[in-house]
Amino acid sequence: MNKLVKLFITSISAITLALVSFSSSFAKVEGDYIVLGSAISLTGKYSSNGVHTQNGYNMAVDRINKMGGVEVQGKKYKFEIIYYDDESNPKRAAQLAERLIKQDGVHYMLGPYSSGLTKAIAPVTEKYKIPMVEANGASRSLFTKGYKYLFAVLSPANQYLEVAIDLAVEKNGGKGVRIAQAFEQDAFSQDVRLGILDAAKRTGSEIIIDDKLPKELNDMAATLAKVKATKPDVLVVSGHTKGALTAIRQISEMKVDVPMLAMTHCDAAKLSKQHGKKSEYALCASQWHKNLSYKDKFFGSGKKYDKDFKKEFGYAPPYQSAESSAALLVFKDAFERANSFDRDAVRDALKTTEMQTFYGNIKFGPGGQNTAKPMILFQVRCKGDDCENKVVAPTKWASDKFYHPIPKWSERS
Amino acid sequence: MDFLIFKAPMLMVQASLDGILLGILFALIAYGMALQWGVMNIINIAQGDLVILGGYIAYTMYLAGIHPAWGVIVSPIIMYFVGVLLYKLVINKVVDRDLFISILATFGIAIVFQQLMNFVFGADVVVAQSEYGTTMLFDNSVTLPNSKIFSAFISVLYAVALVVYMKKSRLGRAIRATAQNARAAKILGVDTEKVYAATFGINAALCGIAGALISITLTLHPYVGLPYTVRSFMIVIVAGLGNLPAVAISGMGLGLFEEFADYILGTEFRIGAVFMLLVFILVYRRFKLSKKREYLK
C-alpha cells in the first residue's frame, strides 16, 4: 500500500514537472503578449523605491500597449510583466529570478530596485542567457564583471558627483579645491567615492577629510566638527536617504559653513519637504529631472511625463520611475530592430541601442552601462518656505544659475 | 598620521559634549533593558524597535501639527500599554524559560514590529523638526544643537523620576523584590505576574521617551532599531544589571569613547572600536572572576 502511494506521488510529480517544463517553453511570448519578468521590492526596506520602479514599468507598459505595442515580423505584440516581491532581500531576489526563468519561462527580464539586488540577479540572468534591462542598479561593479546580458539605462554610480567637483574647480578659477567627503560603507556610496577620487586627481584637488560612515551610523557630528575645523571648499556626502537627512539636520544644527555641499539621494529623501529651508543651496546628483529637454514619441517630454505620471499615480515621479519607464522603451526598440524573439538576437540589438527617450539618450558601453547620458545636478532653492529643486548643471540643461558660495548660517534667516 | 583633535583643543570639547549628550540618551534605553533583564531575565532584542515605534508616535504627532517634543509625554503612555499588551501576548509565555527562548521570541517580535512599521509608516527615512536652534559656545567654535541638550535633560529627568519611583512606591519595591528573588517575593504576597507586566510596560515606556527624543535629534526608519538594541546591550554588559549610576556612566563613557575613536582611529572604526572595548571588558571581567574563584578555593 505504502509503495503504491509512493508510486502515485512520484508519477503525479513527474507529470507536473513535465507539464511545467512543457508550458514554459512557450511562455516567453504568449499569444499577442511578450512576457517580461521582474523581481521587485514591494515590501521591506526598499519598498518605497520598489513601488516607484514598478509604477514606472507599468506606466510604460500601458503607454506602449496603447500606442500600438511592439511590431515583430509584421505582427503587433503587447508587453506584459510578471512581478514577484523580493522583500528587499538579495537571496530572495536571486531565487525569484530563477523561478521567473525556469518556471514561468520568462526570457526577458527587467531589473529590480537597487544595486545590491541587481548584483544578486545578474549572475542568474547571465547563466541562463536572459537579456536584462535594468534601471536601478548604478554600482560600477555591475559593469566590470564582463556581463553580456545586462544593460543599464542609468549612469553608473561613479559619475554621480564628479560634475560637482568640476563645478567647484570652475568656481575656484580652474584651480584645485579642498574636498571633505563622508561616504557610507556600501557598494553604491563607495562607487560614488571612487568617482570623486578620480575627479580630484584629474583636477589637482586635495581630499582633506575622507570619512567612511558605518551603515548603522545616524550621527555625523564628528565628521561635521572636523569639517568646521578644516574649512574645506566642498563637502560631499553620500549615504542614501538616511545620510542626506542626517547631514542636513546636523549641518544646520551645528551651523557648519561650507561654500558648497553636494549630496546624493536628495529627492528620494524628500529633502526640500522634510527639512525645508535648512536644505537650501544643497547640490544634489540626479539621474533625471523633468525640465530636461529630451523627447520621445511615447511620453513626449519630461514635463509631459511628470504630468501624466501625477495623473495616474497621484505623486510627482522620482527619477527611479522615469528610468524604469525608459527601460521598456529600450526593450521595445530592441525587439523591433531584432525583428525576432531569439534571445541572442534581442541581446545583439540591445547592444547596438542608440536612441533618445524622454529620460535621456541611451547607448550602452561595453560593460552594459549607459554612456550617452550625463548626470545632472540640481540645487535646492527656496522662496519663503517653499523649496524646489532647480537644475544648475550641466549648463546645457540648467534652468537656474548655480548659487555659490553658500551664504554663512549667520547670514541666513 | 596627524591627529586633528590634538591640534584643535576646541574639537576635544566638541567631541566630549557630543559624546556625553548622545550617551545619556543611550543610557536611558539601556536602563530599560537592564531593568527588565534584571527582573525577568529576558534579553529583549526588540528593544530598539520599541524605541523606533516610540519615535513614530512622536512623528505622527508632528505630522498632525503638534510639536514633537510633546511626544516625550504621549509616547511613553502609549508605549506602556504596548509593552503590557506584548507581555500578555508573548512574553509571559517565555518569562521563566531558557534565556535562548526569550531571545528567539523577542527577535520574532522585532521582525513583526519592523514590518508593521514599514506597512503603516512606509519605508522612507523621516525626521521631525523641533526648531530648537543651536547653542554656541567659545566664540562659535563649539556648537550644540538644543535638541540634543533637550533630549539629554529629559532623559536625566525621567531616569531620576524612575529611581525615586523604584525606591518609594509600592510597585517599585515589588519590582525590586522580584528582581532579587522572584520565588520569595511570591511567597510574601507579591503578584509577580503583575510585576512582570508592569516592568515590561515601564521598559517600553522608556523606549517610547527615547524614541520621541530620537525623532527630533536623529532620524527614523522602520529598520534602524537593531543598532539601538546592540548599543544598549553593550552598555548593560559593561555596567551590570540593576545599577542606574553605572548604566549612566557606562552610557556616557561609550558615547565619549565612540566620538574619540572617530577622531583618532577614523570614522570607519568607530563602531568596531566599541566592540573591541566590549571584548576587552568581557575578558577582563572573566579574568577578575577567575581570580576570585581561586581565592574562594
pLDDT of residue A14 exceeding 70, the answer is no
pLDDT for A16 = 62
Q: Distance, in angstroms, between B272 CA and closest chain A CA?
A: 9
Identify the pLDDT of residue B76.
95
How confident is the model over A180-199, as pLDDT tens digits? 999 988 888 888 999 999 99
pLDDT digits over A80-116, tens only?
999 999 988 999 999 999 999 999 999 999 999 988 8
- What is the mean pLDDT of the segment spanning A218-245? 88
- Express each pLDDT in A379-389 by its tens digit: 988 888 888 88
How many CA atoms does the CB half-sphere of B293 hold within 13 Å?
Answer: 6
Q: Which of A271-280, A340-349, B66-75, B209-218 has the lowest mean pLDDT?
A: A271-280
Q: Domains of chain A (ranges plus CATH)?
A: 19-155+292-363 (3.40.50.2300), 159-286+375-411 (3.40.50.2300)
Indicate the burial class of B290 (C-beta count within 10 angstroms; 0-12, 13-18, 19 or more): exposed
Query: In chain B, what percentage of residues exceed pLDDT 70?
Result: 96
% of chain B at pLDDT higher than 90:
39
Q: Is the pLDDT of residue A25 over 90?
A: no
Segment of A17-26, A27-36, A270-279 carrying the highest mean pLDDT: A270-279
pLDDT confidence of residue B273: 86
Looking at residue A258, its pLDDT comes to 92
Question: Span A10-27, mean pLDDT?
Answer: 56
Ramachandran sector of residue A173 (left: φ over 0; alpha: ψ -120 to 50; beta: rest)? left
Which residues on B lie below 8 Å from A257 (Cβ)?
none
| A93: closest CA of chain B, how far (Å) | 18
Alpha-carbon gap: B20 to the closest alpha carbon of chain A (Å): 12
**Structure-block grid coordinates of residue B20:** 556625553
Report the DSSP beta bridge partners of residue A206: A178
Confidence of residue A219 (pLDDT cuts 50, 70, 90): confident
Chain A residues near residue B124 by CB distance under 8 angstroms: 48, 241, 268-270
Which of A42, A85, A210, A217 to mutate to test binding with chain B, by most B CBs within 10 Å of its CB? Answer: A217
**Rounded CA separation A36/A78 (Å):** 11
User: Was domain B4-267 assigned CATH 3.50.50?
Assistant: no
User: Cα-flanking dihedrals φ and ψ of residue B271, to 5°?
Assistant: -70, -40
* Residue B297, pLDDT above cutoff 70: no
**Alpha-carbon span B88 to A74, nearest angstrom:** 67
Q: Is the pLDDT of residue B185 over 80?
A: yes
Of chain A, the percentage scoring pLDDT greater than 70 comes to 94
Q: Scan for cell 528587499, then name that residue.
A: A88
User: Angle at the Cα of B211 (from B111 to B52), degrees rounded to 5?
Assistant: 20
**Which of A285, A300, A315 has its CA nearest to residue A391?**
A285
- What does the pLDDT average to over A321-329? 94
How large is the average pLDDT for residues B239-268?
Answer: 85
Q: Give the one of B123, B126, B136 whose C-beta lies nearest to A46's C-beta.
A: B123
Angle at A114 between CA A113 and CA A115, to 5 degrees: 135
pLDDT of residue A23: 46
In whole angstroms, what separates CA B295 from the centre of its chain? 36
Interval B87-97 mean pLDDT: 87
Q: How far is A304 from chain B (nearest CA, A)?
A: 27
Nearest by CB to A222, from B129, B263, B271: name it. B263
Least reliable range by pLDDT among A43-52, A68-77, B109-118:
A43-52
- A405 preceded by a cis bond (ω within 30 of 0): yes
pLDDT at position A337, please? 93
For residue A203, CA distances in Å to A169, A376, A384, B19 come to 7, 19, 37, 37
pLDDT of A413 reads: 66
Residue A20 has pLDDT above 80, yes or no: no
3-state secondary structure (DSSP) of residue A42: coil
Distances (CA, A) of A180 to A105, A204, A215, B16, B68: 50, 14, 19, 22, 33
How much is the pLDDT for A24? 43
SS (H, E, C) A307-336: HHHHHHHCCCCCHHHHHHHHHHHHHHHHHH
Q: Which residue of A has its CA nearest to B269?
A: A214
Residue of chain B whose Cα is closest to the Cα of A241: B125
Which pLDDT score is estimated for A26? 46
**Chain B residues within an 8 Å CB radius of A229:** 4, 8, 10-11
Q: How many Cβ atoms from other residues are within 10 Å of residue A17's Cβ?
A: 10
Q: Quick one: average pLDDT of B172-180? A: 89
Q: Which residue from B minimizes the CA distance to A256?
A: B143
Residues of chain A neighbouring B145 (CB-CB closer than 8 A)? 250, 253-254
Give the residue-averaged pLDDT of B127-143: 81
Contact B218 A221 (CB under 8 A): no
State the smallest CA–CA distance between residue A215 and chain B in angstroms.
10
pLDDT of residue B138 exceeding 80: no
Please state the three-class secondary structure of chain B as a single string: CCCHHHHCHHHHHHHHHHHHHHHHHHHHHHHHHHHHHHHHCCCCCCHHHHHHHHHHHHHHHHHCCCCHHHHHHHHHHHHHHHHHHHHHHHHHHHCCCCHHHHHHHHHHHHHHHHHHHHHHHCCCCECCCCCCCEEEECCCCEEEEHHHHHHHHHHHHHHHHHHHHHHHCHHHHHHHHHHHCHHHHHHCCCCHHHHHHHHHHHHHHHHHHHHHHHHHHCCECCCCHHHHHHHHHHHHHHHCCCCHHHHHHHHHHHHHHHHHHHHHHCHHHHHHHHHHHHHHHHHHHHHHHHHHHHHHC
A48 to B222: CB separation less than 8 angstroms, yes or no: no
Radius of gyration of chain B (CA): 20
The pLDDT, as a whole number, for residue B3 is 67
**Closest C-alpha to A131, from A286, A389, A345, A312:** A345
* Distance in Å, alpha carbon of B8 to nearest chain A alpha carbon: 8
Residue A229 has pLDDT above 90, yes or no: no
Average pLDDT over residues B165-191: 90
pLDDT at A270: 82
- CA B37 centroid distance within chain: 12
| Contact yes or no for A55/A313 (Cβ under 8 A) | yes
- What is the average pLDDT value for chain B, to the nearest integer? 87
Residue A135 CA: distances (Å) to CA of A38, A369, B102, B107: 12, 10, 43, 35
- Whether the per-residue pLDDT at B244 is higher than 60: the answer is yes
Mean pLDDT across chain A, nearest whole number? 88
pLDDT score of A315 more than 50: yes
Helix (H) or strand (E) holding A348: helix A343-351
Q: Where are the domains of chain B?
A: 4-267
Do the Cβ atoms of B14 and A225 come closer than 8 Å?
yes
Q: How confident is the model at residue B24 (pLDDT cuts 50, 70, 90)?
A: very high
pLDDT (average), residues A271-298 = 87
Secondary structure class of A392 (helix, strand, coil): strand
B5: confidence class by pLDDT, cuts 50, 70, 90? low
* Contact list, B115 vs chain A (CB under 8 Å): 43
**Res. B285 pLDDT band, cuts 50 70 90:** confident
> Is a pLDDT exceeding 50 seen at residue B179?
yes
